[in-house]
Amino acid sequence: MIKAWSLMRTNGFHKKLVWIVGAILFAAVCRAQSSVSQIVQAANPQKEKISLIVIRADNGAALFSRNADNPMIPASNMKLVVSAAALHYLGSSYAFQTQAGLLRKNLVIIGGGDPLLGEPGLQGSSAGEIFEQIAKTLSQNGISEVEDIILDDTFFDSNRVHPQWPPDQLNRWYACEVSGLNFNRNCVRLTARRVSGGSVVEIDPPTNYVTIKNQIKLISKGDSAVGAYRSQQPNALVVKGTLNQSAGFDVAIENPAGLFGALLRENLTSNGIQVKGKLIQKYIKSDPQIQILCRFQTPLSEVLNRSNKDSLGLAAEALVKTISAENTQGKINGEWPHGLHLIERYLQSLGIPKDQFVLKDGSGLCRENRLSPRAIVMVLQDMAQKPCWPVFKESLSKGGLDGTTMKYFKEDKYRGKIAGKTGYINGVRSFSGVCQTPQGDFLFSILTEGGSSQTRNKINEIAKAIFDGRW
């Protein structure tokens, strides 16, 4: 009897367990099928602010709205506004251009603010191929030596570091300097490796422009934790931390034009072309005696893709300064204040009230930026009504397929049909874009502040509910 009772008790437990698991699964399914309003209402307003709006792309009719006029920190959703303004002011056929030429016996490089200069696949199969092409062109013109290398980076102004970016993050790739002559995303990659008796730190691309002081401590257990810190000397980095086997990371460098010049000189030398003089940075592009030898171009569409799909901050900041430079007499000294002023004018031309936006940078790294969800969807709708819409839409990350949303929306129903720009800085998560539904395109903007690690999941569920029309 005891055994029989025990068996019955066990079976009852199993039944109860099955019921509990079933209830949990049912609740999960219910949550997954919640409407937009249910997901939003479930948030704790004391801890998590959610503002959003959904409109039809064709006529602007509002499908759902909650606190849509509230200006909030947009994080990287700022890049959407900058991208739209770039198409507005520059046109979809615009291309960034870098030129190499001769002025008497000097080699001249004229920067055009290209944030993707040296990007593999654009100017060659590797970052260094641009230097190989310059060396080859010189050789083909019978030139075996040059005097100075003159670097003209005056397409942008000399304020390469945004004054409101966190000072302790300026060595990070996402807070790199913004120059009229950029290269390799204005970063070098450091790789620390364990070797017999100690450690080494390798620099890619290899250059003497950056020096390393190795203060790494070796460990036999645990994960590596290595970082690079700036010293008082430009591009003299101190590498610290603990290393097990290997660790690699990108570091933003100082004076990107100088890096380009140093790499160019080193490459010319290795290709048998002597550089007898110095590296000089100055304005020279207006000299009529410059003989242009070769040009390197990057279409605006590629810059938009890197800005929005991959959230490359340098791309967005270069767009702000390019808007400024191209609307300045002489096309020089593109700057943040002027570029942002022009972007503000673009927003005002759409009828967006001035109290719904504050623009401080292009990437969204600055916490003083503000955009309302309504302002963002009005920008999206403006793009949707223009011939440049395919270019703009292609720049968005396609859920489940590419960019920052590759790991989301993988279900067949949503894959590739929910496209947008994510955003994240501490305490802020955002997502704005387009749902391409059988009922037409729905434009949306979801901005949150004060959320938790689960907020991104909530945002994704809201996007799915928008696609499904679950209001």
Is the confidence at residue 27, as pLDDT, over 50?
no
Is the confidence at residue 460, as pLDDT, over 70?
yes
- The tokens for 276 are 């007898």
Name the residue among 222, 163, 212 with its Cα closest to residue 191.
212
Half-sphere exposure of 254 (CA within 13 A, CB side): 12
Strands (E), 289-333: 291-299
* Domain edges within the chain: 36-92+306-468
- SS3 at position 62: strand
If one looks up domain 36-92+306-468 in CATH, what number appears?
3.40.710.10
What is residue 33's predicted lDDT score, i.e. its pLDDT?
75
What is residue 15's predicted lDDT score, i.e. its pLDDT?
40
Range in 8-22, 168-182, 339-353, 378-392 with the lowest mean pLDDT: 8-22
Q: What phi and psi, each to the nearest 5 degrees, are found at residue 461?
A: -65, -35
Strands (E), 335-439: 357-358, 370-371, 397-398, 418-425, 428-437
CB 167 within 8 A of CB 302: no
Is the confidence at residue 20, as pLDDT, over 50?
no
Is the confidence at residue 452, as pLDDT, over 90?
no
- SS3 at position 54: strand
Rounded to whole angstroms, how far apart are CA atoms 60 and 442? 9
- Cα(first)–Cα(last) distance of the chain, in Å? 57
pLDDT (tens digit per residue) in 234-249? 999 999 999 999 999 9
pLDDT (tens digit per residue) in 215-236? 999 999 999 999 999 999 999 9
Is the confidence at residue 193, as pLDDT, over 50?
yes
pLDDT (tens digit per residue) in 66-90? 999 999 999 999 999 999 999 999 9
- SS3 at position 270: helix
Mean pLDDT of the chain: 92
What is residue 9's predicted lDDT score, i.e. its pLDDT?
34
